[in-house]
C-alpha cells in the first residue's frame, strides 16, 4: 500500500517544481507502470515515494507509515524491511562477487540469510555458475538479474524499479518483466517506470505523468489504448 498526497519537489534554480503536487493511492499488491515523456518527473516521483529523496511538501505513506516523519535511522530500518529499489544502471558493487552483492543488504542489516535461499534465487536467474564472478565482468543483462536477486532476497512488500529494462536486450527484458509481474501476482506491490508501451501493457495500473504532475491514472490498458492516451495527453512516451 503506497499513498502520496500533494507531493512537491523543487529543483535548485528552476522556477517550475520537478513535482508539482502529486497524489496517488496504490492499494494492495499489483504492478503499476509510471509512464510519460523524458523530464516529466518519473524518477523524482519514484525517489520521493521510495524514501530515497525527501519531498519539499506532502505526505508519503508506505503500508500506513508516514516515512518522512521517521528519524533517519528509523526510516532506514523501515525501508530496509519493506522496500527494494531496482535501478536502470543496476547499482551493484563492481569489485564484489555476484553472491557478495546479493547478500549485501542482509550483511548491512546484520541479518542472517539462508544459503539455500541464496542458491535458489541465483539458480532461478541463471546466475549460480557466476556466483563467484566479480560483477564488473558480467553483461548488463546478468547485472540486472543480479540486482533483481538482491532485491527479491530481502522479501520486500514494495519494489520500485526505475526503467529496469532500459539498458537490456529483449531476452533479458522478458526475464525482468516476467519476474516483476510474478512478484506482483504473489502479493508484492511493484511500481515500475518504463518508456516501453508493451511493458506498460503488462501493468494492472498506469500512472501517466506530464510536467511534474500526474495527468491521469488508469487500470490495465492495451498497447493501443496506452498510445491513444499518450497522444491525447501530448508529449509521447519518451519525447
Ligand X SMILES: Nc1ncnc2c1ncn2[C@@H]1O[C@H](COP(=O)(O)OP(=O)(O)O)[C@@H](O)[C@H]1O
The window from 35-43, 87-95, 122-130, 178-186 that contacts ligand X (CB under 6 A) reads: 35-43
Q: In the bound complex, what is the minimum distance in angstroms from residue 38's beta carbon to ligand X?
A: 4
Q: 8 or 11: whose CB is closer to ligand X?
A: 11
Q: 41 or 51: whose CB is closer to ligand X?
A: 41
Q: 40 or 226: whose CB is closer to ligand X?
A: 40
Q: 18 is in the binding site of which of Mg ion, ligand X, none (Cβ under 5 to 8 A by kind)?
A: ligand X
How many CB atoms lie under 10 A from the CB of residue 107? 11
Q: 12 or 64: whose CB is closer to ligand X?
A: 12
Radius of gyration of the chain (CA): 18
What number of residues does the chain have?
239
Q: In the bound complex, what is the minimum distance in angstroms from residue 43's beta carbon to Mg ion?
A: 3
Q: Which residues contact 165 (CB under 8 A, 6 or more apart)?
A: 144, 172, 173, 176, 177, 194, 196, 199
Asked whether 96 and 107 are in contact (CB, 8 A), the reply is: no
Q: 164 is in the binding site of which of ligand X, Mg ion, none (Cβ under 5 to 8 A by kind)?
A: none
Q: Is 47 helix (H, G, I), strand (E, B) or coil?
A: helix
Q: 40 is in the binding site of which of Mg ion, ligand X, none (Cβ under 5 to 8 A by kind)?
A: ligand X
Q: At what angle do helices 98-108 and 115-124 cross, to 10 degrees?
A: 130
Return the residues of window 3-32 that contact ligand X according to CB under 6 A.
11-12, 14, 18
**Binding residue for Mg ion, selected from 43, 50, 144, 173, defined by CB under 5 A:** 43
Q: Which residues contact 102 (CB under 8 A, 6 or more apart)?
A: 118, 121, 122, 146, 149, 150, 153
Query: First and final CA of the chain: distance in angstroms?
Result: 31
Return the residues of window 36-95 that contact ligand X according to CB under 6 A.
36, 38-44
Q: Which residues bind to ligand X, rule: CB under 6 A? A: 11-12, 14, 18, 36, 38-44
Q: Which residues bind to Mg ion, rule: CB under 5 A? A: 42-43
Amino acid at each position: 500500500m503506497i499513498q502520496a498526497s500533494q507531493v512537491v519537489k523543487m529543483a535548485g534554480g528552476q522556477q517550475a517544481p520537478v513535482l508539482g503536487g502529486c497524489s496517488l493511492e496504490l492499494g494492495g499488491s499489483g504492478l503499476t507502470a509510471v509512464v510519460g515523456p523524458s523530464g516529466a518527473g518519473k524518477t523524482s516521483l519514484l525517489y520521493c515515494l521510495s524514501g530515497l529523496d525527501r519531498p519539499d511538501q506532502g505526505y508519503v505513506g508506505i503500508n500506513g507509515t508516514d516515512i518522512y516523519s521517521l528519524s533517519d535511522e528509523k526510516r532506514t530500518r523501515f525501508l530496509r524491511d519493506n522496500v527494494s529499489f531496482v535501478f536502470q544502471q543496476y547499482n551493484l558493487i563492481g569489485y564484489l562477487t555476484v553472491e557478495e552483492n546479493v547478500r549485501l543488504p542482509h550483511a548491512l542489516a546484520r541479518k542472517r540469510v539462508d544459503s539455500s535461499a541464496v542458491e535458489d534465487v541465483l539458480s532461478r536467474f541463471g546466475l549460480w555458475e557466476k556466483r563467484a564472478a566479480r560483477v564488473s565482468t558480467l553483461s548488463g543483462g546478468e547485472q540486472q538479474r543480479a540486482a533483481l536477486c538482491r532485491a527479491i532476497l530481502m522479501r520486500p512488500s514494495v519494489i520500485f524499479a526505475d526503467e529496469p529494462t532500459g539498458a537490456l536486450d529483449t531476452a533479458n527484458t522478458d526475464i525482468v518483466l516476467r519476474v516483476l509481474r510474478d512478484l506482483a501476482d504473489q502479493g508484492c506491490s511493484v511500481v515500475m517506470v518504463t518508456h516501453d508501451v508493451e511493458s506498460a501493457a503488462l501493468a494492472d495500473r498506469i500512472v501517466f505523468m506530464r510536467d511534474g504532475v500526474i495527468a491521469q491514472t488508469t487500470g490495465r490498458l492495451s498497447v493501443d489504448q496506452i498510445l491513444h492516451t499518450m497522444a491525447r495527453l501530448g508529449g509521447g512516451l519518451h519525447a
